[in-house]
Structure 1
Amino acid sequence: MDITDFYDTFFEEAEELLADMERYLLELDVDEPDTEHLNAIFRAAHSIKGGAGTFGFDVLQKTTHLFENLLDHTRKGELKLRRDIVDTFLETKDMLSDQLDAYRNGDEPDQEAFERICKTLQQIALEEIGRDLDGGAAPVPAPEPEPEPATPSEGAGGAGRRIVTLLNVGEKDRQLLVEELGQLGEVVTHGGDEACYEITLASTIDSDDIEAVMCFIVDADQVKIRDAENGQASEVAPAKSEPAAKAAEPAKPVEPARPSAAAKPAGDAKTAKVKAKAKGGGESTSIRVSVDKVDQIINLVGELIITQSMLDQTVSELEGAADSALLNGMSLLQRNARDLQESVMSIRMIPMDFVFSRFPRVVRETAAKLGKEIELTTEGESTELDKSLTERIIDPLTHLVRNSLDHGIEPPEVREAAGKPRTGKLVLSAKHQGGNIIIEVIDDGAGLDRDRLLAKARENGLPVADTMSDDEVWQLIFAPGFSTAKAVTDVSGRGVGMDVVKRNIQGMGGHVQIMSTPGAGTTIRIVLPLTLAILDGMSIKVGNEMFILPLSAVLESLQPAKEDLYAMAGDDVVLKVRDEYLPVVAVHEALDVPNAKTELTETIAVIVQGEGRRYALLVDDLVGQQQVVVKNLETNYRKVPGVSAATILGDGSVALILDITGLHRLSRAKKEDRRPERGWQTLEADTDKVLEI
């Protein structure tokens, strides 16, 4: 068996360990660092080092070896933490991530960067504790893994022999383990059967590093290690143990202290090198599955739902009384198909902590650049969202956070002069609301300045008016090239980004809302569907064509009355709904649908919302609400203006899912092409109001 078969497992577990390492580093109080956090950071580095040595990732092994030694001096109290030292630790973590990515891609890590970080770590050790980390040896490119001194307190037996017992391990895994243990020393004897197989190893490597090798190949409860001289056993125990196991870890005379597997704190299961596998009598509680495989299953379930809808419609159209057994069977199939769909969709749902965990680092570094004091709070980390959306929301959310830090929260002295605490507060929250997830970026800064935004908009040539509502004024910050920054900085000020943020969020089927109070702060709310694979929609009919409107965009529907319709200069029409004048979008005109109703009072107006504005869509009929399986139209055909996606109905026909804002833009563009004059038009209505549209 090729050891590269286990690369993916190592890479994924190492990524988890590095993420935990960063989280613990960011939570460290430099004045009174938490001992458990220091131990967890140390164990993460130690685990990665053991795996890197096993797979021959020499640069990664050497870097983590030096980092581990420096961390050991830190947790023993020999190295006093400062902010700049924690910054170096974070830089080292970034370097480890880069090295891991290089090995994952089959490349060699950057040797210059490797030597630089090793030199930095050595320099800290020389200046702070008076000695280097590696016996005075300077780092060299592509170093060979060094054998580590024995640990008497762990019963390692010096350069003596250890007996490794494998329980219920198949032949191929046994053979691979014998080969890999041969890289750590001399395999003196080995033999036995699948139930119990013993390997006698002569090595100076301590038990922890042997454990690290074994647990990338077999489960923790399948391995036992004991010293051949005194018979002392060292069993590879699960990461979670009884609270009593949180004993103080013994210091080692040469190498950093290595906690035995049985002594790992219960609260640090994620940072331990051996994942918790004790539940259910040693059975694993999770499996790693490729996202492509999950997507394939979701697509197949979607096809199953479509087929079930077709059968259901066929049965409903049968003449006469259908067979009761057939009806019962169809009802059961529908229920089971829906349950299967929900279960499969839940596989792709991951907690928002996947997104939020990145921002303590972003806030820390951005606040330092801006000279501000910021306290970050996250809420709703366990709220789940589709994996594809969590990956796509990271960049827009990062820009919004940096924007709040730069433009929203004031410098400490300004806050103090305004009677506020010097430390600004930034909150990231997530919660479910119906079929959507609400993500909010909340700051207690200065808030948005309405007059300044309007002045800047006029300066940029944007069509604005003093009568605009606050919501419309706040939306100006999303205009391309719009910025109120007085100077360009490393963080913002170039007028790029916010328009991309809005466009990306709309591309995910969501929208952005802004609430702001001068002097009190700003809340930016992102509303997203929980998944892009399934959509709650309203079926509408225009002519002989069926379309789907996202149900989240539909506010109400009504029959327009003649007295509520106002013709504008040109072809524009507005509909008065409770003292609000809404632009009318005739779907049949925008999409060139034949045989549709053209008399406005005979149509149905569906009031919808998109990009913070409301529109009245004119359709022929409302068919009903239904869940539909979303098919990407751009991938399967091409991009169609006014259309976001497509679905297959129960009769096998294709229905287009309408894009509200795109439909309005398409309608405007078609009308503009027919007008001799362009620009803003006005109308003096019976209420003596001047409407700007």
Structure 2
Amino acid sequence: MASIDLSRFHRTFFEESFEGLDVMEASLLALDPEQVDSETINGIFRAAHSIKGGAGTFGFEAIAGFTHLLETLLDEMRAGKRAITAPDIELLLRAVDALRGLLATARDGGAVDPGTVEPLRAELAQCLAGGGVVPQAAERDEVPASGWRIRFAPKPELFASGNDPLLILRELQQLGDATIVCDVDALPSFGELDPESCHLAWTIELRGEISRAAVADVFAWVEDDCDLSIAALTPTPAQPQSGSKVESIVASAPRAEPRGDSASIRVATAKIDALINLVGELVITQAMLQQLASHLDPVHNEALLQGLSQLDRNTRVLQEAVMSTRMLPVDAVFSRFPRVVHDLAGKLGKQVRLQLVGEGTELDKSVIEKISDPLTHLVRNSLDHGLESPDERAAAGKDGCGTVTLKASHQGGHIVIEVADDGRGLSRGKLLAKASEKGIACNEQMSDAEVWQLIFAPGFSTAAQVTDVSGRGVGMDVVKKNIQALGGSVELASREGAGTRVTIRLPLTLAILDGMSVAVGDDIYILPLSAVVESLQPQPEQIRRVAGEGTVVRVRNEYVPLLPVKDWFRVPGASRPPHESILVLVEADGHKLALQVDELVGQQQVVIKSLEANYKRVAGISGATILGDGRVALILDIAEIVRLATRALAA
């Protein structure tokens, strides 16, 4: 018999193991030594148990050996043999970090560095050697006199995970006297029987001096693939048999809402991207057909037009459904911050409360991946220079524990993420003084909003000294550029002594753009709607020629540089005077620019195609799309055009 190549399962093992570590870390951070929740400890144990089992199966001995120590310590904690202290939690968190490193090394095919693992292994062994006393009350609760009544109902897809209910039942029989009754009510007729699906369920009465933890261990590998209940076999006098309480075993990770028989599957991102691209092509083809159909006689072609209308509706629904496959909850980013805040607060000697709001808000996976670093910088800034020390807060009449809030919400076609703290806030006077020192243009007449924007200037910082953590303002220009590169914007509001709030507004996806179509000669260009301030047809007296600064347009007492798009892209044909054209005011990096175009075509959602991947990099162009008539329309990179035009005027 040929041996099975287990390497093809490695990717799934590593993905699930890293997810398990995230669960362990989150649960440890939520653990309160004063009020230990047994289910939280059970969840941490099960995650470690799964990683150890998988590592042993695939031959990752270093991971299995290290996790065995961790699992043993957790088993003593959940059995009540060891009191859980704050130092224990810190040790377990460091063990999670070490295990994450071991997994990454095994995944990448590297060699384990004993110097990074052995000291922690020794600490775990020393901790285990300390022992402990079993509280009698916990022991009585854990080992009932009679045994347990177990209801085990596997989901149909149980076999697909490689598990066999028969082996589980045999293992239960090893624990004590087991009476097993099979439930065949869900068994279909022979003709409808699917040999790869499980249709049976079992009720087991397990008698003997057996702990509930021992029973739960038997089902550790299948708890996500079954409906399971474990209840004391002999009810207490306070609980008559007719209404006996059922204690459920829950998964170690936060579980999604029940999905019936449709299990989730892992799909490579490349496959989803290819599907999205094909749907984009379908949308473009449908738009072309719609454009052609607009010239048909509606009387003689009624059936065809009705069919095209139905195609349009179905195409839009399909596009939304496919785009949703790339949508992930923002918790994928938020979940890392409890650990960041925990470690940094300890390093700074501050007391910090982290509030997460709207973690279920969804946005595109590509946006999530790119927003992580800016958010990390903002959170670290809030802790380092936003929040005061406990003594400073007490002197100011505040709670000694500061609060950092991460909030996400949908607003229209965008997601808004806020990072707020209730710390010392920004000092208007300090910002103006630092700006003057750096040679940045500023004055006392500037509004608060304009003063706060100074913090985004390159290299700007009000920190009294450079630290290895952060300085409020250090790198904020990079934060802003990264967010703008995603088509987003960032705003800052603050009140001295009351805190600071940074608001980030992002598109939900980078594959579709809300744009304004404009005509320049025979060409169509797309302007990102998020960068458009307004459009107008100016009067001749609004146009001015300024020596050394080119042409400007006066809009409500503000002079804005004017840039003809025809000249910028060298579109052939005669140019119209500005007062016979349309001006579209756009804004980026705090600077406005009036783009001169021939006419406004309309607003529409466009499918973005990479120009660089299909042609080459073009200055001032961020991508392209295909219009309904088959023509290619270029999507303008407003930030780059504003930056280049401003630099040219300054020269």
Range into which the TM-score falls when normalised by the shorter chain:
0.7 to 0.9
Is the 8 Å Cα contact of residues 543 and 551 (structure 2) preserved in structure 1? yes
Cα distance in 2 for partners of 1:414, 1:316 equals 70
Deviation larger for 650-659 or 439-448: 650-659
Among 19, 42, 58, which residue is 1:39 paired with?
A: 42
1:186 paired residue number: none
Among 439, 458, 462, which residue is 1:461 paired with?
A: 439
1:596 positional shift: 5.8
Deviation larger for 467-476 or 526-535: 467-476
Q: Specify the SS of the correspondent of 2:602.
A: strand
Is the 8 Å Cα contact of residues 385 and 472 (structure 2) preserved in structure 1? no
Relative to structure 1, the CA distance from residue 519 to residue 597 in structure 2 (aligned partners, 3 Å threshold; closer, same or farther) is: farther
Q: Specify the SS of the correspondent of 1:12.
A: helix
1:382 paired residue number: 360
1:345 paired residue number: 323
Do structure 1's residue 663 and structure 2's residue 645 form an aligned pair?
A: no
Deviation larger for 516-525 or 375-384: 516-525
Relative to structure 1, the CA distance from residue 494 to residue 453 in structure 2 (aligned partners, 3 Å threshold; closer, same or farther) is: closer
Q: Deviations over 1:73-127 (max 9, x none)?
A: 2234443333332121111111111222222223443333232221111122334
Is the 8 Å Cα contact of residues 17 and 51 (structure 2) preserved in structure 1? yes
1:458 positional shift: 2.3
- Opposite residue 506 of structure 1, the aligned amino acid is Q
Cα distance in 1 for partners of 2:388, 2:257 equals 48
| Aligned alpha-carbon RMSD (Å) | 3.8
Is the 8 Å Cα contact of residues 590 and 663 (structure 1) preserved in structure 2? no
- Opposite residue 30 of structure 1, the aligned amino acid is P
- Residues 400-415 of structure 1 mapped to structure 2, 5 A cutoff: 400-415=378-393
Relative to structure 1, the CA distance from residue 320 to residue 219 in structure 2 (aligned partners, 3 Å threshold; closer, same or farther) is: closer
Is the 8 Å Cα contact of residues 238 and 277 (structure 1) preserved in structure 2? no
Cα distance in 2 for partners of 1:481, 1:74 equals 49
Is the 8 Å Cα contact of residues 74 and 80 (structure 1) preserved in structure 2? yes
2:533 paired residue number: 555
Q: Deviations over 1:636-667 (max 9, x none)?
A: 33332222221111222221111222111222
Do structure 1's residue 285 and structure 2's residue 288 form an aligned pair?
A: no
Q: Specify the SS of the correspondent of 1:374.
A: strand
1:303 positional shift: 0.9
Cα distance in 2 for partners of 1:238, 1:541 equals 60
- Opposite residue 626 of structure 2, the aligned amino acid is I
Relative to structure 1, the CA distance from residue 290 to residue 247 in structure 2 (aligned partners, 3 Å threshold; closer, same or farther) is: farther
Do structure 1's residue 120 and structure 2's residue 102 form an aligned pair?
A: no
TM-score by length of 1: 0.77
Do structure 1's residue 20 and structure 2's residue 23 form an aligned pair?
A: yes
Structure 2 unaligned spans of 5+: 135-145, 149-153, 177-195, 234-245
- Opposite residue 385 of structure 1, the aligned amino acid is L
Cα distance in 2 for partners of 1:479, 1:277 equals 46
1:420 paired residue number: 398
Relative to structure 1, the CA distance from residue 203 to residue 649 in structure 2 (aligned partners, 3 Å threshold; closer, same or farther) is: same
- Opposite residue 270 of structure 2, the aligned amino acid is D
1:242 positional shift: 7.7
1:56 paired residue number: 59
- Residues 490-505 of structure 1 mapped to structure 2, 5 A cutoff: 490-493=468-471, 496-505=474-483
Deviation larger for 428-437 or 25-34: 25-34
Deviation larger for 585-594 or 85-94: 585-594
1:197 positional shift: 8.6
Q: Deviations over 1:125-169 (max 9, x none)?
A: 3346499xxxxxxxxxxxxxxxxxxxxx999xxxxxxxxx99999
1:650 paired residue number: 628
1:614 positional shift: 3.9
Cα distance in 2 for partners of 1:468, 1:609 equals 19
1:450 paired residue number: 428
Is the 8 Å Cα contact of residues 544 and 596 (structure 1) preserved in structure 2? no
Relative to structure 1, the CA distance from residue 120 to residue 418 in structure 2 (aligned partners, 3 Å threshold; closer, same or farther) is: same
Q: Deviations over 1:493-546 (max 9, x none)?
A: 497532221111111111111111121111111111000101111101122221
Is the 8 Å Cα contact of residues 241 and 264 (structure 1) preserved in structure 2? no
Cα distance in 1 for partners of 2:90, 2:25 equals 11
Cα distance in 2 for partners of 1:660, 1:553 equals 7
Is the 8 Å Cα contact of residues 169 and 222 (structure 1) preserved in structure 2? no
Relative to structure 1, the CA distance from residue 224 to residue 64 in structure 2 (aligned partners, 3 Å threshold; closer, same or farther) is: farther
Do structure 1's residue 110 and structure 2's residue 113 form an aligned pair?
A: yes
Is the 8 Å Cα contact of residues 156 and 197 (structure 2) preserved in structure 1? no
Do structure 1's residue 88 and structure 2's residue 66 form an aligned pair?
A: no
1:265 positional shift: 3.8
The number of residues matched between the two structures is: 595
Deviation larger for 558-567 or 402-411: 558-567
1:582 positional shift: 3.4
1:271 paired residue number: 253
Cα distance in 2 for partners of 1:625, 1:351 equals 29
1:3 paired residue number: 6
Cα distance in 2 for partners of 1:169, 1:661 equals 52
Cα distance in 2 for partners of 1:244, 1:166 equals 14
Cα distance in 1 for partners of 2:472, 2:396 equals 28
Deviation larger for 315-324 or 478-487: 315-324
Is the 8 Å Cα contact of residues 221 and 237 (structure 1) preserved in structure 2? no
Relative to structure 1, the CA distance from residue 55 to residue 264 in structure 2 (aligned partners, 3 Å threshold; closer, same or farther) is: farther
Relative to structure 1, the CA distance from residue 437 to residue 202 in structure 2 (aligned partners, 3 Å threshold; closer, same or farther) is: closer
Cα distance in 2 for partners of 1:205, 1:498 equals 62
